[in-house]
Chain A
Amino acid sequence: MKMIFPTAESIEFAQESAKKIATVKIIADTFMNFDADYQNFNKVDRGFMQNLIEEKDLSREYTKKYIYG
């Protein structure tokens, strides 16, 4: 099967576009209600969330590795 890849310029443009996107916020209610009994203790991984904010995965090296496999 012939594979068509985005060019290096396309990837660079994509990374530049990502930086320009405006902030979008969701205004949520304070609480969620559940009928089910508590089963386990979950928590958001704060390290992961911080990495998302810092966009560590959008480094040139990581994105190329991910896109081309």
Chain B
Amino acid sequence: MAKKPHKLPTYNQDYDIVLQAITTRLPIAYCKWSTVNNIDPANYTAILDSVIKGFEKYTLENFEYIYTETKAKITDYINTFEVAPQGSIDEFKLIFFLSRTLSENLENKGLKVISEVVLTAMIWLLDLRLDSVKCRREALSTQIIKMIHRNGIAKETGKVGLYLTYKCLYNSAKDN
């Protein structure tokens, strides 16, 4: 007999907060991304301005797709690993799956730089969580941002490897 599906409130405001958090951290993420990947910051302000305007236009035109796809990714993860939560979806899932949706879709549209900067903003936010339990690892962040630049996230960590790394580091530090 088929299982009766569970229902969980999506808490719209949390998606809004995380999307805006990613957006407002893009400039700083661009700084970090260019520093780690040794990219010449010449014409920095012009490039950044163009990147930000492009991202705003993209999110306004694609917000419905962004949400639907993010929800599908989270549902797939929860059903695959059989970890349906009672209560609400934690902030790690919101940050990770929303960022992955954004970056994949931006890259499919040929916007590779902003796609990489979005993932760097994701690392920024995940690092904030590690910072809160004093287990942020600078070397980990640097290597992941390099991996982002060589387009290796999906190939080297799969669909959820990066999420699991951050969530487990956080939980381990919090529990000990």
Q: Which residues of A contact B (CB under 8 A)?
A: 1-7, 10-11, 13-15, 17-19, 21-45, 48-49, 51-53, 55, 57-58, 63, 66-69
In the complex, which of the residues B15, B23, B25, B125 has the most CB atoms of chain A within 10 Å of its own CB atom?
A: B25
How far, in whole Å, are A48 and B21 apart by their CA atoms in the complex? 11
Given A31-B9, A32-B74, A32-B75: A44 and B35 interface contact (C-beta under 8 Å) = no
Give the Cβ gap from B147 to chain A, nearest Cβ, in Å: 17
Contact assessment for A36 and B79 in the assembled complex, using a CB-CB cutoff below 8 Å: yes
> Can you name the residue of chain A whose Cβ is closest to the Cβ of B81?
A36
Q: Which residues of B contact A (CB under 8 A)?
A: 3, 5-12, 14-21, 23-28, 30-32, 34-35, 38-41, 44-45, 48-49, 52, 56, 59-60, 63-64, 66-67, 71, 74-75, 78-79, 81-91, 94, 124-125, 127-129, 132, 138, 142
How far, in whole Å, are A49 and B129 apart by their CA atoms in the complex? 11
Contact assessment for B79 and A2 in the assembled complex, using a CB-CB cutoff below 8 Å: no
Can you pick out 12 interface pairs between chain A and chain B where the beta carbons lie within 8 Å of each other? A4-B40, A6-B35, A14-B27, A18-B25, A18-B27, A24-B16, A31-B8, A34-B78, A45-B90, A45-B91, A55-B24, A66-B127
Q: Which of B9, B27, B35, B52 contacts A4 (CB 8 A)?
A: B35
> Can you name the residue of chain A whose Cβ is closest to the Cβ of B9?
A31
Contact assessment for B63 and A27 in the assembled complex, using a CB-CB cutoff below 8 Å: yes
How far, in whole Å, are A35 and B2 apart by their CA atoms in the complex? 9
In the complex, which of the residues B20, B71, B78, B125 has the most CB atoms of chain A within 10 Å of its own CB atom?
A: B20
Given A3-B35, A42-B86, A42-B90: A26 and B16 interface contact (C-beta under 8 Å) = yes
Contact assessment for B18 and A52 in the assembled complex, using a CB-CB cutoff below 8 Å: yes
> Can you name the residue of chain A whose Cβ is closest to the Cβ of B3?
A35
Contact assessment for B7 and A13 in the assembled complex, using a CB-CB cutoff below 8 Å: no
Contact assessment for B38 and A40 in the assembled complex, using a CB-CB cutoff below 8 Å: no
How far, in whole Å, are A33 and B76 apart by their CA atoms in the complex? 11
How far, in whole Å, are A23 and B16 apart by their CA atoms in the complex? 9
